[in-house]
Structure 1
């Protein structure tokens, strides 16, 4: 074996860079993307080995750069479609993820430096901590989290009912860390041959294989149980996919969209659904605002009379539909409750908006859900005072901020209780779990992935959503503007995905599993407990390891 590490040089550094870029590309193939439509999930079980080898053998001076490089490279390969949203999006995302990986690499190197023999055990917990923390802050973005690569392997994801995705992450990372621990030494001609290494460190592979077998067997049993579980009832849902170009706006566009939505809904209604479901912001003019306030004299940039007339047409159609209509629609509320809808001094609307879903039935809005987890930079930016220069850039790009919702609303229609995570809210495990804990028996994801112009982007989103159904043991209906409209069973199986970029509708007979019958899953009752435990384990272990290392040096 070539000894690249006998003396560090520019060649050593360049070989590490090359290895990390190649590893980032291979890792990206584990997910749906431009190489594989569905992804090759098994790759996740070995794609990180070269990365961990580099982390162990590289210098402390280089490890941060390598982490940033790997993060940037992976998300360039994985989220190659982001420039379709905005050319700056790929820069923002890769820089953020690269910075997160920079910190991850430092922590991973600390584990194998402070605990030379068994640091690989800690690396699994560190990776869980990174995965959780990276999705929990303002710019949290769970796309690319390694557990989601296994969405096709149904027996292996059933454990999420108890642990969420966190146990799955450990089972993917830990064996790679174990192998890399030896191979890194072999590269430097310092370690035992692999079989000798295994014999000396036999306990971990024995325990891992035993746990993996139990994982597989129990997952198979759980899968069989939920495949044969009797639903409490079936809910017939008509999803309307109107395939609107998200980058087109204006009253003419909104009227054309409404015409298409109305036509498709009337076609779908012939199949006697229990409810008709449109997508996120399918109807743009705020129905609640127009029903509550007069538009006379208001300076509405859409044109007050025309906009009000379009809302009247919507209300009239929804009443004639004779079925509950669920749609994404902004909720306009008074910005200053002490004033009327129009600021008499400026002539401007006294209004602020939420990205919302409304349930319209019997001529009125029965209930409203306001999006709680807003998209960073485009829907929400809380650092106006701290970063005014960035805020001004975002404003110049014509981004409009939504108000943030704060309640996990549960709708009810014809006895079915359901909740509606909007857009990418279903990629965060805690949100659907909170909905279910609050009483929802079905998850209805209202999203608009048409903006990406990429079928791969929509598939990546849908595959993440599969774990939400397993974690909660609830059926999911995804009603999208273009993709991926589908149903997801409590097993995580995707059913009847609709062809993307096609104007159409689809009827889903959704099995409803009521909590009154099946109870709540352990994960719903104890959301992300394993992630919290991993953070504490990682932090305490690194602090204790550092303290012991300092004491040993002092004694010398």
Structure 2
């Protein structure tokens, strides 16, 4: 019956977390619900008696949370067996592995410490358990969001979107500071509920209560500091140094219907109407952005092809007619013989000339990045399973696009370059330096940080999540992406096939947007701010790495102390056998110490 309650708590925690994350009922999620999300899981793990059982509880929690919050992965065409099935099992096993860390303090604690804790004398155990749980869960979210199998969805930080004052700490700690605070509150609630039953039989009720109360005050202080910092950042006046007139085209095309001519003509129609409506009367557009994977022919060779296709209005001719640079999603070829192709953002200048590309660096594992696909046998298996696609080749390096600004109304005077590199002094117009993280790229902290450190002034994300067919998938991706604006205090532009197309300022606020799953275009004046090196930009994921270091340091010293204790007890038990002279001498010493400690002064009784 007791184990059934633990299973119930683990499953309940999964449902609460999935409800707190943006979903079909609460579009942007609920931070208030998120504070309670791990409360039942904490209770279940704290009462678990073995690592094996803790593994099972964490496996349940991880797999069910993933299934409930990312169910839309099942719509990923023929790859659903990987994107949903394999990822669900993988997430469950991965969190189950972390059960060892959750279970560690009690598993490797010294016997004397366990006795002291059970008797209510070890007051340090209360705050330690709370902060240990919050730290391990934060490390777990970092590990699941990093590396080849990275999937930063289903995280506590996704619950916090509507609490803008709290998310501002991301420019210091990244998203992991937010996750730590939420996990800490759940651990506080869980520990408090467990103490209610323990205090009744404890001989040190007041001491334990004071220890718990101080832990609550510490947590409250962390939230208060986050609140003050958040209010400061939200009220801080930020003035853009230049503006970029931008047109974001949302086609809402069917991603499974491979009719490229219709897709291009639709995008051209939306673009033409939007340009005529928004950029007449002397105003000009600096950049047009189409979403991911609009084009299907591989560049650079395909540049000649698109001079004549579509036949009704060839793409290159259309771009030249607008006299505006374009960024369009399409493939590039690295090596035809090895089937190496990249999912890329293609840059065309105002005359329609293909000027270069950035290739997506962080690919979706087992859907876009398929191991061993360079072998014909593997490609044959993949084709027989999903019917199309051999995956993509990841980009090797960051690439930036520099766009001239024709009509910026802020400090738009041309600036002068004095060169000592053998070039003459020249005057050039204002420009904007863009980076184009593609789809999943904007969830990869290491990719966006590399782009920013290279000099990016604006993130321009092109994506196509329309295959998910759900609003929750679109908003979840947006929530993950909006943290990049806060972390680097920069503007993020999102041009999506079906949504969420929007412009996000350095505070993480949406300046302009389009409704989901509609054919439309968003004309906006994108503010570009002075680049600043935030703590996160300089040091990256320092918080989870600090927690990892502290956790391993504790594990090392705990194991060392336990080994010394076991070695001492083993030697003591072997040398002091009953009926030997040493045993009797030890017993006499114990009796003398007892008599001196608990001696009774009978004179006081005679009074």
Q: Considering the TM-score relative to the shorter chain, is it more than 0.5? A: yes
**1:365 partnered with 2:354:** yes
Distance in 1 (CA, whole Å) between partners of 2:380 and 2:206 is 56
Q: Which structure: larger Rg? A: 2
Structure-2 change in CA distance of 1:473 and 1:307 (3 Å): same
Of the three residues 249, 255, 261, the one matched with 1:246 is 255
Cα 1:16/1:364, change in 2 over 3 Å: same
The separation in 1 between residues aligned to 2:261 and 2:502, in whole angstroms, is 26
Residue 496 of structure 1 aligns to a residue whose secondary structure is strand
Q: Check 1:195–1:434 CA distance in 2 against 1; reply closer, same or farther (3 A cut).
A: farther
Question: Shift of residue 128 of structure 1?
Answer: 1.9
Cα distance, 1:195 vs structure 2 = 8.0
- Report what 1:436 is aligned to: 452
Matched, 1:57 2:73: no
Q: Relative to 1, partners in 2 of residues 1:76 and 1:540: Cα closer, same or farther, differing over 3 Å?
A: same
Counterparts of 1:328-343 in structure 2, within 5 Å, are: 328-335=329-336
Q: Shift of residue 158 of structure 1?
A: 0.9
CA–CA distance in structure 2, aligned partners of residues 385 and 364 of structure 1: 32
Per-residue deviation, 1:152: 1.4
Structure-2 residue corresponding to 1:158: 168
Q: Give me the whole-angstrom Cα distance separating, in 2, the residues matched to 1:229 and 1:106.
A: 46
Task: Give the 3-state SS of the residue equivalent to 2:227 in structure 1.
Answer: helix
2:395 maps to what in 1?
Answer: 405
Contact 1:380–1:401 (8 Å) recurs in 2: yes
Q: Distance in 2 between matches of 1:487 and 1:112?
A: 48
TM score, norm. by length of structure 2: 0.79
After TM superposition, give the deviation of residue 52 of structure 1 in Å.
Answer: 0.9
Out of 506, 519, 543, the position equivalent to 2:556 is 543
Aligned to 1:101, which of 82, 95, 99? 95
Q: Which runs of 5+ in 2 are unaligned?
A: 110-116, 118-124, 280-284, 405-430, 570-607
2:230 to 219, 222, 229: 219
**Among 202, 208, 220, which residue is 2:219 paired with?**
208
In the alignment, structure 1 residue 130 sits paired with structure 2 residue 140: yes
> Does the CA contact (< 8 Å) of 2:339 and 2:374 recur in 1?
no
Matched residue of 2:513: which SS?
A: coil
Q: Is the 8 A contact 2:306 2:314 kept in 1?
A: no
In 2, the alpha carbon distance for the partners of 1:149 and 1:212 equals 16
Q: 1:306 to 1:529 in 2, by over 3 A?
A: closer
2:434, 2:459 within 8 Å by CA — same for their partners in 1? Answer: yes
TM-score by length of 1: 0.86
> 2:308 touches 2:315 (CA, 8 Å); kept in 1?
no
Q: CA deviation at 1:316?
A: 1.7
3-state SS in 2 of match to 1:492: coil
Match of 1:286, SS? coil
- Give RMSD over aligned pairs: 2.6
- 1:524 equivalent to 2:527? Answer no
Deviation at 1:394, TM superposition (A): 6.7
Q: Deviations over 1:357-409 (max 9, x none)?
A: 011013312231011001111111225699x8899357631332211102111
2:487 matches 1:471: yes
From 490, 493, 514, give the equivalent of 1:498. Answer: 514
Paired residues, what number?
A: 512
**Cα distance in 2 between the residues matched to 1:442 and 1:411:** 10
For 1:198 and 1:421, the matched residues in 2 are separated by 50
Change (3 A) 1:91 1:525: same
Match of 1:269 in 2: 275
SS of the aligned residue for 1:288 comes to coil
Aligned to 1:297: none
How far, CA to CA, are the matches of 2:495 and 2:374 in structure 1? Answer: 37
Distance in 2, Cα, partners of 1:15 & 1:383: 44
Structure 1: 5+ residue stretches without partners: 1-10, 293-304, 337-349
Deviation, 1:326, is 0.6
| Deviation per residue, 1:332-368 (Å, 9 max, x gap) | 23446xxxxxxxxxxxxx8631100011013312231
